[in-house]
């Protein structure tokens, strides 16, 4: 349980940091969130895919709540980075 909490917080902070840096460099607010949804989630589904399974349901049955919670934490981190950049821009900070 402790490992799950640490992993979730780690992924949240990591995606926030990566998203914040991408937002500063590319001057886009929600790019890290879109990148996470379009690239990382399908990659996370495709990478451990078992081609010998007879049905798609069998592949998704291998995932548990423990697998989903860090992904949700990373998604929250990507969202919060976009929200933080947007708040800084509304606050008048031209650097962001």
pLDDT for res 68: 86
CA dist 5 and 14 (Å) reads 14
Residue with tokens 């800084």: 88
pLDDT for res 96: 61
Q: Tokens representing 66?
A: 């423990």
Say whether pTM exceeds 0.85: no
pLDDT for res 72: 92
Among 61, 69, 71, which residue's Cα sits nearest to residue 4?
Answer: 69
pLDDT for res 5: 95
Residues (pLDDT < 50) of the chain are none
Cα angle vertex 46, ends 56, 19, to 5°? 130
Q: Tokens representing 24?
A: 């500063």
């Amino acid at each position: 349980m402790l490992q799950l909490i640490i992993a979730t917080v780690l992924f949240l902070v990591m995606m926030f940091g990566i998203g914040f840096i991408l937002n500063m460099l590319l001057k886009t607010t929600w790019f890290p969130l879109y990148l996470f949804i379009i690239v990382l989630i399908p990659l996370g589904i495709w990478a451990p895919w078992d081609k010998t399974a007879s049905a798609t349901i069998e592949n998704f049955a291998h995932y548990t709540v423990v697998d989903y919670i860090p992904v949700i934490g990373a998604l929250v981190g990507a969202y919060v980075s976009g929200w933080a950049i947007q708040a800084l821009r509304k606050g008048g900070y031209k650097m962001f």
